[in-house]
Structure 1
Amino acid sequence: MDIQKFKKELIAYSTEIGIDKIGFTTAAPFTKLKSRLIKQQELGYQSGFEEPDIDKRVTPAMLLEGAQSIISIALAYPAKMNDRVESKKGDRRGIFSRASWGLDYHHILRERLNKLEKFIFSKLPEAKLKSMVDTGELSDRAVAERAGIGWSGKNCSIITSEFGSYVYLGEIITNIPFEPDLPIEDQCGSCTKCIDACPTGALIQGGQINANRCISFLTQTKELIPDEFRDKIGNRVYGCDSCQTACPVNKGVNFHLHEEMEADPEVAKPLLKPILKLSNREFKKRFGSVSGAWRGKKPIQRNAIIALAHFKDESAVPDLIDILKNEPSSVTRGTAAWALGKIGGEAALRALKKAKELEKDIDVQKEIEKGLNFYNN
């Protein structure tokens, strides 16, 4: 087979099935990435969501026997909602990050990758392929950078010249020896707007992030949010876009190319108080189709409580008192105690004083004290 001709056919087909950008690179080890990952590990900057075996993350041949190439794809997602809903007093809203609008991107990219695989097998039945999206061993960004999809920005995102950094990434490792594309030259220059905009200082320097300080990571954890980050989270119930919205390349970028990525505003920017009362079944029905639901209901409820405290929403006090009295989760209960103190008022104070007498969990006791301390300042 004429591999170069097949590559052109594959590129043409990728456009037909709704892939916005495709690139090719070799399956050679990502040697520079390995040294960076080792450094990240030594510094304790990893999130814990990554593949623990660094060698697997940088060595495609460990993932597919006979690997020779990697096909990288990118799909652009919207930066603005077509239909907007407003947050107002008494009906405050949270926000999911843009990457969690619409249908879970894992499903979208896997569907496109599956079509690519079928196309390849129809031409080369003996081909070997291994696809992955986000949760695979390889770094999607490292693959995309080397395949010429975009450059690796200082915000640790792939930035494309066409769609900015608002793109989902996926890849296929294969034994087909495609000619590699050329990487794109870094175009960030001396700009540090993303670093300056990071609410928590998670971007240590261009291209290096301390995941444990990143709001996107923090909103996905299941523990109590450290005190220093609670006010920084604001009304974010999942993820964070600050480093993307600050990027000059993203100014004016807003592509609506895929219907399944369109945001339902009542999901992407949900009312906060109803989240507090959702059962697991109700949560799954309402939010289960979006990527931000992958950690389940409890982190989203905790984040909603922090958001209500951010707004000092007095109308949420009865719900928060009910959580403080009856919620089994110590994390949710403790966050509610802190939020009651943050919001203030006599009803909140009475509830905190009563909870102080009854609460047995040490961590929740500490949160009750934090809530009471708001009244002393």
Structure 2
Amino acid sequence: MIQLDLATLALMFLALGITSFFVMFLIWRINRDMPGVMFWMLGTLLNITSAMFNLLNALLGWSDGWGPFTSNTASLTANLLIMEGTLRFRNLGSTDRWSYLILLIPVFVIGSWLLRLDPGLRYIFHDGFTLAFQLTSAIAFVWRTSDRHEFTANSLAAVAGVCMSATIAWRFMLALTSSESIIMGPESTGTQWYVFAGANFHVAWIFGLSVACYFRSRQQVMQLAREDALTGLPNRRCIDEKLNQTLLEVQRSGEQFATILIDLNDFKTVNDHYGHSSGDTLLVEFTGRLREAVRTSDFAGRYGGDEFLVIARQLESRESLDQLIERLRDKLNSELRVPGGTFYVVVSIGAAVCPVDGTSADELLGAADSRMYSDKARQKAKTLVKL
């Protein structure tokens, strides 16, 4: 096997570690609220520390195993942080888990010190933990992704993690079998090629993290662009996209669906009498009731102001649509407490069925809007008769 210079490899790994740290630092500065990134940044910082101790040990030849002890302790802690960062990035965070994992750090310190003079046992100890951390991170990146786009965005980091795991597993097996290419410690060709391969796969891993973070950030921006800031429901832009998508789907399947517009009657009086903050509270509470009222197969969004829209699929007949409308009316018409008083919600509802009432978004929305205002007029007429 070709002999490599460990000092040069350690210096290369140190330079890559510094670059990786600044990359993660910039990602963290841009996306401070993105979970896991801070753990990655701290992990790369500890990787720099590990590489620095490796370099100093190779140049100065420290006695009593101080180089391997400090390097292994920093490396194990770094890989622990990186795994926790990946789990949090994938929204698999758990405060209880981290409370237990942090207890491993004293184990790393004690184990690295006790095994600092025995390369074989030291590598088994270090690589056993590191292999578990790396494999967990690689699997977590592609575990139950929301769609193929997220899977693709996370795949580079996952593949790089698998490659690093394979490199770690290779040295782990050499250490288990007491191979001469590894038990000589830092001067062995096995260790030198381990550092060389790890450095290259580490570069791919950093690129993978950058792609995954970019995709996550882009998804958040797109979600904000399609989500109503107050209620959390899809906004008008998202409604238009969903309605057009539904029209394309039913053209192929021949299925019927209904576009239902819902308006809060006299909502303006809440803003006038109690203030806009009370009006906002009312809309948020109303949204919660709307979520409960619609079926799981339906789509609900905020059309604008005090108007909401529901796209109802799986309608077998006009009777099923009427039943759905009455269910919405029963669930939504009720008292709601707002700061300053109580408001009795009364909704006006208008529905249009595709293809009976139209085959385009404008036709369906126009028909639903007309029927909604007819419903509003009927309710006002009933109120006047009672008076």
Who wins on radius of gyration, i.e. which is larger? 2
Higher relative contact order (CA 8 A, sep 6+): 1
TM over 0.5: no
Task: Identify, as 1 or 2, the structure richer in helix.
Answer: 2
